[in-house]
A and B are shown apart, each in its own frame.
Chain A
Amino acid sequence: SQTIHQWPATLVQPVGSPLSLECTVEGTSNPNLYWYRQAAGRGLQLLFYSVGIGQISSEVPQNLSASRPQDRQFILSSKKLLLSDSGFYLCAWSVGSSETQYFGPGTRLLVL
């Protein structure tokens, strides 16, 4: 069966520091991968999605970037964090034309 991991589970970082959040999927090949952000008390906003290695689509202009160095690995990065980057970051995957996305456990980021 397929599983999705996110690391770390929680993170506290100072403003201006770099960021790297990792998402890995097991049990499937060539998944579509997604990064969402959930701000406190709000819904989910799609940040990036990828349909293959090295293929990244950005949904909103922002301080973040994404990379997909391997088929089942999706990384969310920033060179300099802002206070507004605080939130709950969720990774998700789907396969081919499947309509359903499955979510990881999330990473809670607090920027101070």
Chain B
Amino acid sequence: AQSVTQLDSQVPVFEEAPVELRCNYSSSVSVYLFWYVQYPNQGLQLLLKYLSGSTLVKGINGFEAEFNKSQTSFHLRKPSVHISDTAEYFCAVRPGGYNKLIFGAGTRLAVHP
């Protein structure tokens, strides 16, 4: 069975500091990997995705993520965060050949001035 673990439920950080949100997955088949962001009382917005090719993926709002197959990880990073990055971030995997997304429990990023 596939699963996604987001290792930190909350990450507080000061504005302009770097941040890393961790995501590990388990799967017996190849997967596609996604990060979504959810602002308060809104739906989910796609930040970035890894389908194939380069393991370093760049997304919107200055975020990037690196796929590490040996460690089954897909950590999200941003070199300098803004107050407006305060939101909930979800890592998700889609097993190859399936229509379903499996989500992690989410990480709440709180950026402080």
Contacts and interface: CB of A to CB of B under 8 A. Distances in A.
B41 A99 contact: no
Given A45-B103, A94-B99, 13 more contacts: A6-B43, A34-B101, A43-B103, A43-B104, A49-B100, A51-B99, A90-B43, A99-B94, A100-B34, A101-B101, A104-B43, A105-B42, A106-B41
A103 B99 contact: no
A44 B103 CA distance: 6
Contacts of A32: 99
Q: Please classify how large the interface on chain B is, using the bins under 10, 10 to 19, 20 to 34, 35 or more.
A: 20 to 34
B110 interface: no
B45 A103 contact: yes
Interface of B: 32, 34, 36, 41-46, 49, 51, 90, 94, 99-101, 103-106
Interface of A: 6, 32, 34, 42-46, 49, 51, 59, 90, 92, 94, 99-106, 108
Contacts of A46: 100-101
